[in-house]
Structure 1
Amino acid sequence: MNSAAFLDPALPFGNDAPGGGHWKRLVSLGDSFTAGLGDPEPGSPGGIRGWADRIAEELAALRADFSYANLAVSGLVLQEIVDLQLERAIALQPDLVTLSAGGNDLVFHRRDPDRLAVDLDAAVAALSATGATVVIFTGPDWGHTPVFGRIRGKVAVFNENIRTIAARHHGVIADLWTMRELSDPRMWDPDRLHFSPLGHHTIAGMVLDTLQVPHTLVPLRPKPLPAPGWRQTRTEDLSWATHYLFPWMAQRLRPHPPESPAAPKRPDPGPVLRVTASPAGSL
């Protein structure tokens, strides 16, 4: 299948966000991005926070009966997210859903973005049929990175499919691709694949703005970085490859027995307490 076969030019591109923060139950589906990897939770050794927790805190401030569940599990591909999380999410009866899936398929498994879109379309259709507002994420633009930049074209094709899916099912697009501020390396974890606390904070603000929800997440503008010389850039790239890229490759090439799926981050809906620590750590 090619993108022309999947995309329908008659469909409008845009967001159908009711706004106002009237939602009372948020359920988030996804992988490590939605789980919040790269954003340690203050006062909780080994815990992670992330953009989904941050928007839940803001929505909880708008109504006392708000609840939040996060079904995300690190490392899952799109089909695993559908198989393990979709039915559970619908059973929780949310009126607001976030879904980010497909990143691991594109980065680590080289899957075809058009075939991925067919699977994603079915999942979004099922979620939308419940009457919930469905927020769908586009992938970020890795064009500035030396390795992940090679899949930039595939990510762009997948993103165009995502825009069509959102239009078809009246979904809301959380558009990471258009966030030029994400080109700042401080938005990213040292592994260059996940976001830093600053990145999660910035993304949470974008999602709330897209949903037209008033919030307290003031944009944080770190001071400009000096342009690195070629020696510094080469040293940083070599360090990253040594500590992250080569171990990832070795892990995927080494045979290992199947493992039981990890537990979701926050499987049951519950109230949300605001975290008062600095939202983005040291800049």
Structure 2
Amino acid sequence: MSRLFVAVGDSFTEGVGDPHLHYPNQVRGWADRLARQLGRADPTWRYANLAIRSKFLDQVVADQLEPALALDPTHISFCAGGNDLLALRADVDGIADRYEQALLRLVGSGAEVIAFTTFVPRASGLLKPLVRRVDAFNAAIRDLAATHDVTLVDHDAMREFDDRGLWALDRIHLSRPGHKRMAAQVAQTLGVPHTLKLSDLVPPDRLGWRHAMRGEAEFVRDEVIPLVRRRLRGAYEGDTTRPKWPEPIHPADGMKRLAAEQAAIERRLREWGEVLERL
């Protein structure tokens, strides 16, 4: 029987932080990397990814759940709520309640549901105010996963992700090595063999306090302030972003080739649209 893995969520699942020019939206990410491993293990595996960056939990539920379930997946990953936690005022109990309702909808489909806790790098001082609400949300996710027989990838318990090399410059998204390591972890959780080569984690050099303060200042200037400004304007990258793989593909057919074919079709559609507008 052909199996179908559908990924829904936000930037974590879309693959932000793992740039790749030959993949849709110019990012790859753990879900695409996992899909490639699934295709290697069994060419009949199919894959779709509806995740879009910067989406809040309610947006993921409203825009992605029903299209994902309509594909009749055998496996579906669900990771949402992280952007809600970044809001200035976050009702963690309310987020957890809405998360549970979405989880119940997915579990009721009969698919194997894969959920994730949210990781906060302990080394990042500027993110410490988020730790309490993230810990509360993670506790709720663990409880819900156990209660509803959901496969849990407990990202927060993976202390190797304290390594800064696994994170992008914004310290919010995984880097290429981080996404690769996450793909390996999910494959292991699902009992799927993989051929991903994981680089050794090397302890970082100890930096003097002046260098550390300079790094924090650059982080605030280049990452935090632009993020706050975008949120105050209500401008989000996901507003103009489309799902990477809205229709199921066979990863074994070669994801770069499939991405090129998809891009060519979209380009022809745009060209035809421009022609029709001139008529």
TM-score range, shorter chain: 0.7 to 0.9
1:204 aligns with 183
Distance 2:145 2:164 in 1: 29
User: Post-superposition shift, 1:215?
Assistant: 1.2
Once structures 1 and 2 are overlaid, which stretch shifts more, 122-131 or 97-106? 122-131
Cα distance change, pair 76–44 in 1 and its aligned pair in 2 (3 A): closer
Secondary structure of the structure 2 residue equivalent to 1:233 = helix
Residue 62 (structure 2) aligned to one of 44, 59, 83: 83
User: Post-superposition shift, 1:127?
Assistant: 0.8
1:164-179 equivalences in 2 (<5 Å): 164-179=143-158
Distance 1:117 1:41 in 2: 33
Cα distance change, pair 70–45 in 1 and its aligned pair in 2 (3 A): closer
2:168 aligns with 189
Distance 2:88 2:41 in 1: 41
Residue 145 (structure 1) aligned to one of 124, 128, 148: 124
Count of residues in correspondence between the two structures: 254
The amino acid that maps onto 2:72 is: Q
Distance 1:23 1:102 in 2: 31
User: Post-superposition shift, 1:131?
Assistant: 1.1
Cα distance change, pair 260–223 in 1 and its aligned pair in 2 (3 A): closer
1:7 aligns with none
Secondary structure of the structure 2 residue equivalent to 1:28 = strand
Structure 2 residues not aligned, in runs of 5+: 257-279
Cα distance change, pair 271–121 in 1 and its aligned pair in 2 (3 A): same
Distance 1:93 1:232 in 2: 52
Q: CA contact under 8 A between 2:2 and 2:46: conserved in structure 1?
A: no
Alignment pair present for 1:60 and 2:39: yes
Distance 1:23 1:207 in 2: 20
The structure whose residues are more often helix, as a share, is: 2
Distance 1:265 1:194 in 2: 17
What TM-score do the two structures reach when normalised by structure 2? Answer: 0.85
Residue 217 (structure 1) aligned to one of 196, 200, 218: 196
User: Post-superposition shift, 1:141?
Assistant: 2.8
User: Post-superposition shift, 1:260?
Assistant: 5.4
Distance 1:137 1:66 in 2: 22
User: Post-superposition shift, 1:53?
Assistant: 0.5
The amino acid that maps onto 1:96 is: H
Distance 2:25 2:48 in 1: 19
Distance 2:3 2:234 in 1: 44
What do residues 99-158 of structure 1 show as CA deviations (whole Å, max 9, x unaligned)? Answer: 110100001343222211111111111111111110001000333211212110111110
Q: Percent identity?
A: 36
Coordinate RMSD, CA, aligned: 2.1
Structure 1 residues not aligned, in runs of 5+: 1-21, 277-283
Alignment pair present for 1:33 and 2:27: no
User: Post-superposition shift, 1:224?
Assistant: 2.3
Distance 2:235 2:27 in 1: 27
Once structures 1 and 2 are overlaid, which stretch shifts more, 245-254 or 126-135? 245-254
